Structure 1
Amino acid sequence: MLKNIDFNKNRQRWKNYFCLFISFLFLIFFYVNRTTILENDPEFSSKFKIASIVLGWIVGVVLIFVRLDFGKKWNRVINILYILFAPCYIFFNMEIAVFNETYSFREQHLSLLLFNFLLIGILELIFIVITNRVRLGTDIWAFICVMFNIVNYFVYEFRGTPVMASDIATVGTALEVADGYKIQFNFYTTVALVMLFDFIMLGRVIKCEPVFKKVSHRLCGIAVMAVVSVTGFSQLVMTDMVSNRGLYLSLFNPMRSYQQYGSIACFARSIKLSVPEKPNGYSLKKVEEITSKYISDTVDPNKKRPNVIVVINEAFSDPQVLGDIETNEDYMPFIHDLMKNGNCVSGTTYASIVGGQTANTEYEFLTGNSMAFLPKGTVAFQLYLRHAMPSLVTELKSEGYTGNSATHLQKARNYNRDKAYPLLGFDKFYDYTNMIVPFVKMRNNATDQCTYDNITHDYEQQRKSTDAPYFGYTMTIQNHSSYDVPFDNFDDKRIVVENADAPDLGYYLSLIKYSDEMFENLINYYKNTDEPTVIFLTGDHQPRIHDESMDSITNGEWRNWNDEEMMRRYEVPFLIWANYDIDKKTVEKTSMNYLQTILMETIDGELTGFQKFQQDLQKEIPVLTSNGYWGADGKFYSVDDKNSPYYDLIQEYAMLQYNDMTDYKNRVEDFFELKQ
């Protein structure tokens, strides 16, 4: 008996040593990151921050050596109180990590607050039952919750939106590009860590026995929690319960919703929104009724066709749309002049995304489908593209185009491109491992020039075996965020924003200047070829610019923009240039899903029934994105606005897309493909 007691004491001593070691690691962490943690903030002084963090640390250290044992009966009572108290503490602990003095805990309805507590409590009980330990199960769940919101903070800093349910499918891609970001803890994320440390140490104070003494009881407990989990998921998560109680998950600024209503509640809401629904009234008969009005063209084998080069440029945009920006020189002089005076069709297009999820713009452009009919935050390439489907690629192939090559000089599996591109009809996919020109990088990404050289070299190889028109597609990577991490191999001295405190914007515009010069090289190459060639350029989305820079650019006005005004964050230029005479025109505004139709019109190609449907639709709805749309009446509408005069047209589009993407076994192929 004495040996057992000594052994238990010895084990406890080593646990204390380990906790002390962790506490001192935190002090080292605090010292290393003190600059960003204590940086000037109008809300708190540096002295207050140091006092708060040190006090929290001292509390945790003291708790390491405290043990309370009130006897078996009272220990059970304390355990129950601890279980009930934990969800409240965990909620406020995790919300501190994304705290915003303007929004956090404001307009927090009691029912939504209780909803957060309830979800946290249910999952806490699940972990307790699984581990058969009150303290261990609660600690694991507390750690997961707090780390979730710390990650949430950094994800928001990197791309401008928090973590949503659909992001689970993109974790691999996120990790691939994480090297380009600099992780900097601030005061709130540091306090969240201190509070987590205190909570875990508090749990060690109380005496906890196994929840179930017998295996049979534990199995019954697991069965009960399984039923509770399924019921809770179906009734609390997969319904509109939280939205009916005032939770509005803003699609333009979801982080504001997370801060107002609680991260757990909003993430749960994003799960519901990530499940695509069949359009109301959908039937094959209804689809055939719509498609019967639009007959696809028949391919003319004798028509002379130009080469087509498509460039989707990473984060390419013109931030002048955000505010009056003054720079030391023009950051895209060639493209500005080309759009104004060149032989091209050009204008403004609107993306469904900002700061990230590049593949969604690719999906809209290549298929003509719209993210407006898919759950917010999802990535079509990863979640919905599982079978071959009609696209711009298959259309050009049916017209006799060769090459049909895609180039993206990153890892092929990012956003599932290695599977998505072949399903869209591409015959070849060049990533950074199989590219056919030397790899040249700026910062840690392949340059635009390197990407263009690869597609040009592929074109030259095709010319050795055929004179059929060539199609090449490139998704560049040079301008990928972040825009505030210095790299030795990048010269960022060119562009300076002179009328705003926005260093990351100047860094971004320096990249755009390089893109401008490299695009000019691409144009000059095909300008000097004898073959008719068309080059299409647009950006996938605007960059993620820090909130402080947005404040400086807009004098803080962007924080109060309504949904229509916020569309400025989704505005991107596009142009279609040709080395032969085309009908030059300016498109005031359109959206990514319409661009392939505009491209086919420009090259005088045959049109599918779907593209003819889009031609008519653009007259009534010139812009359609996942964030809303403009009608021909000039008014801005949400996609689900049933009072909109365009609601029936929106529903028709949704049905056609559902038939194309989801009900593919009954797809009306003749509508989505050209006739041979």
Structure 2
Amino acid sequence: MPERLIDEPVETTDESTGRPQRGPWYSLLWAQRVSWLGAMACALVLELSGLIGEGGFWWESTFVNTLSFVADSLVIWLILVVLIGLTNRVTFSLGIVVALTVVIAVANRVKLGLRSEPVYPSDVDFIKEPGFLTTMVAPQMLVIAGIGVLAIVAAAWFLGRKFEPRMAPVWLSHLPVRRQLVAVLARAMVVTFALALLVDTTRFNDPGNAWRAVYEVGNRKWRYWNQRTNYLANGFVGGFLYNMPTVAMPTPEGYGPDEMDAVATRYERMAAKINRNRTGSLDDTNVVIVLSESFTDPTRLNGFDLDEDPIPRTRAMMKAGTSGQMMAQLYGGGTANMEFETLTGQSIGLFEPQLSSPYQMLVGEYDSYPSAVGWFGAHGHKPIAIHPYMTGMYKRNKVYDTFGFDEFIHDTTMSETDMIDDNEFISDQSAFDEVQKQIEESDDPLMVNLVTMQNHIPVDDNYPDPIGVTGDVDDDEANRIGNYARGLSYTDKALSSFLQSLKQSKEKTVVVFFGDHLPGIYDSDVADANPGLGMYTTPFFLWSSEGTPQKRLPQSSPTGFLPMLYEMADAPIPPYFAMLERMRKHVTALEQGRMLSPTGAEISEDDLGPAGQRALQDARLVQYDFSIGDRYAVDRMWPGALR
């Protein structure tokens, strides 16, 4: 007979509680069953946070056709194993995991409702911005959530003390030292093994990762172009792990100093050819880039009607000038990504899909990064960033420093911080007034990057006179749409006044204006009534105080805005812009999962001819070189871009 590790009867009585005290093997079996059932319950809660309201297909995909639910449960169970090994308390450890699960599930439901995208690993950065969180969720709800979490953990501790079979102590003092060490070593090995498996989940996107192989059983596909669908198809934990940090983009075929020398030479020649016929200049002209938060044209959407046009002035100006429609990356979010594309010319669509936020996951890791900030600075402009909000959002305080802005003006340093009615965000009028103030006070031409906040969600009950809404929408949705539309009308007036003031000024100024995405205020009925690009289209225009030619531009990505501006101004361009211009002849808009031809048709890379595929490959090479590569070609392709 093998010697028992712990010499005690199968069942005794605990003198301190009077409860039956069973042997260690019973306790271990009880711990295994409870922890596994608890892990499955937590996985189910996380799945339900995305599945509620979805069709039956996703339920079958999650629980029947794949191993995703089992794999999700296994990851959570390993977390429990580690906690149990460290605390020696099953119920208490389960309470901690349940509390964390509830927090993540609620956050997932809130984010899905606001932005139609699930929680990402990078979202942990928002914990550092409690002010932003309180704009998304009422402070009293955060307090209630905090109390709820503490209550779950406290209840678990109490129930564990009251009913949990006593686990064998970590150090079994009544045993010989040798057997004590064996017991401790066995526990340590279990915890270490579980931790090793969990650490491997953080390398989910590495080639040959075993966890990823489990999720891909049955030839399952990752739907990176729609992360909401990705989480539904592959499980919440699977989708979350898929979005773990990874290399920004794979090394393009042929990348190296010789290839980048050839690319730079090619586009230097192309830029020289273009510049021979250009007689304009932006060297003595203020350049203002306006990313207008959630600025869209809601009259383009099906499913409802507005009693009045919220943007008549902007519409008239776009019709008379140079304008078009932008293809947004996301619905309800993606502001910093559209700003990144504008300032760098780099496409989110060429990065790995896990790079959900270049500001948070890429740019902030560098001391300098190629951008229009450096380019304009090298041409005599003073680059200024204006954002009427907290500096830490999307790490803008660090990112703007990396780009090389001379000054960052924000909510606590602006001259005006007016708000309209019950809107808690600084008005667009105040933001435009700040731009004008900076222009008037500067002796040098400015490059101003303005990111507004007025129309950021939540919009409920911001104004006492929302625009009337009719159609197949309920009262709550009509209230949101009406308040949002009224906010747009204030932006429309402020923008018109701003441009008029610039036109009357003695200084020359050009403006790039665009909306970043649709606000997350529409229910599924409106989304269903606007398939395809309906929920991913926003207006943009180019404007000059010297007069703007009338021109309709194809639906575009922000990567092309600055080359378009130089074309409108008939100004000479660097080789990098020549490359972006060549790309635009074949692909006018590119985001994750979507590519548009100059005619507006959705195409794939296989639909491109040889010239289009060469242009796309050059764009990959240059983007890799500028972002995570050795930057062989930066000084030649975009001189001065590194500041």
Q: In the alignment, residue 338 of structure 1 is paired with which amino acid?
A: M
Q: 2:387·2:452 contact (CA, 8 Å) conserved in 1?
A: yes
Match of 1:426? 405
Q: 1:451-462 alignment to 2 at 5 Å?
A: 451-462=431-442
Given the superposition, is the C-alpha separation of residues 227 and 654 from structure 1 closer, same or farther in structure 2, using an over 3 Å criterion? same
Q: 1:361-400 alignment to 2 at 5 Å?
A: 361-376=338-353, 378-385=356-363, 386-400=366-380
Q: C-alpha distance in 1, partners of 2:546/2:516?
A: 27
Q: In the alignment, residue 401 of structure 2 is paired with which amino acid?
A: P
User: How many Å apart are 1:72 and its aligned residue?
Assistant: 4.6
Q: 1:409·1:430 contact (CA, 8 Å) conserved in 2?
A: yes
Q: C-alpha distance in 2, partners of 1:95/1:200?
A: 26
Match of 2:215? 242
User: How many Å apart are 1:669 and its aligned residue?
Assistant: 1.3
Q: 2:554·2:599 contact (CA, 8 Å) conserved in 1?
A: no
Match of 2:317? 338
Match of 2:30? 78
Q: C-alpha distance in 2, partners of 1:383/1:459?
A: 33
Match of 1:30? none
Given the superposition, is the C-alpha separation of residues 233 and 448 from structure 1 closer, same or farther in structure 2, using an over 3 Å criterion? closer
Is 1:165 the equivalent of 2:121? yes
C-alpha distance after superposition, 1:306-337 (max 9, x if no partner) = 32222111111112343264211110010011
Q: 1:521-600 alignment to 2 at 5 Å?
A: 521-547=497-523, 550-551=524-525, 553=526, 556-558=528-530, 561=531, 565=532, 567-600=533-566
Partner-residue secondary structure (3-state), 2:553: strand
Q: 1:353·1:360 contact (CA, 8 Å) conserved in 2?
A: no
Given the superposition, is the C-alpha separation of residues 546 and 8 from structure 1 closer, same or farther in structure 2, using an over 3 Å criterion? farther
Q: 1:291-440 alignment to 2 at 5 Å?
A: 291-295=264-268, 305-323=284-302, 325-341=304-320, 344-376=321-353, 378-385=356-363, 386-402=366-382, 404-435=383-414, 437-440=415-418
Q: C-alpha distance in 1, partners of 2:252/2:129?
A: 30
Q: In the alignment, residue 495 of structure 1 is paired with which amino acid?
A: I
Match of 1:474? 450
Is 1:121 the equivalent of 2:82? no
Given the superposition, is the C-alpha separation of residues 99 and 227 from structure 1 closer, same or farther in structure 2, using an over 3 Å criterion? closer
Q: Percent identity?
A: 20
User: How many Å apart are 1:286 and its aligned residue?
Assistant: 2.3
Match of 2:177? none
Q: 1:367·1:392 contact (CA, 8 Å) conserved in 2?
A: yes
Which has the higher mean CA deviation after the structures are superposed, 128-137 or 609-618? 128-137
- Match for 1:227 among 192, 196, 202? 196
TM-score, structure 1 as length reference = 0.78
Q: 1:32-71 alignment to 2 at 5 Å?
A: 70-71=22-23
Q: Which runs of 5+ in 2 are unaligned?
A: 1-12, 172-179
Given the superposition, is the C-alpha separation of residues 257 and 291 from structure 1 closer, same or farther in structure 2, using an over 3 Å criterion? same
User: How many Å apart are 1:79 and its aligned residue?
Assistant: 2.5
Partner-residue secondary structure (3-state), 2:289: strand
Q: Which runs of 5+ in 1 are unaligned?
A: 13-66
User: How many Å apart are 1:628 and its aligned residue?
Assistant: 1.7
User: How many Å apart are 1:455 and its aligned residue?
Assistant: 1.3
TM-score, structure 2 as length reference = 0.82
Given the superposition, is the C-alpha separation of residues 604 and 7 from structure 1 closer, same or farther in structure 2, using an over 3 Å criterion? farther
RMSD: 3.4
Is 1:288 the equivalent of 2:261? yes
Partner-residue secondary structure (3-state), 1:605: coil
Which has the higher mean CA deviation after the structures are superposed, 153-162 or 643-652? 643-652
- Match for 1:148 among 104, 110, 121? 104
Q: 1:166·1:274 contact (CA, 8 Å) conserved in 2?
A: no
Q: C-alpha distance in 1, partners of 2:595/2:157?
A: 49
Q: 1:364·1:593 contact (CA, 8 Å) conserved in 2?
A: yes
Q: C-alpha distance in 2, partners of 1:233/1:421?
A: 29
Given the superposition, is the C-alpha separation of residues 491 and 76 from structure 1 closer, same or farther in structure 2, using an over 3 Å criterion? closer
User: How many Å apart are 1:632 and its aligned residue?
Assistant: 4.9
Q: 1:79·1:208 contact (CA, 8 Å) conserved in 2?
A: no
Which has the higher mean CA deviation after the structures are superposed, 594-603 or 524-533? 524-533
Which has the higher mean CA deviation after the structures are superposed, 383-392 or 472-481? 383-392
Partner-residue secondary structure (3-state), 2:305: coil
Given the superposition, is the C-alpha separation of residues 210 and 292 from structure 1 closer, same or farther in structure 2, using an over 3 Å criterion? farther
Q: C-alpha distance in 1, partners of 2:199/2:640?
A: 47
Q: In the alignment, residue 372 of structure 2 is paired with which amino acid?
A: L
Partner-residue secondary structure (3-state), 1:535: strand
User: How many Å apart are 1:673 and its aligned residue?
Assistant: 2.0
Match of 1:514? 490
Q: C-alpha distance in 2, partners of 1:396/1:439?
A: 28
When the two structures are aligned, how many residues end up with a matched partner?
Answer: 586
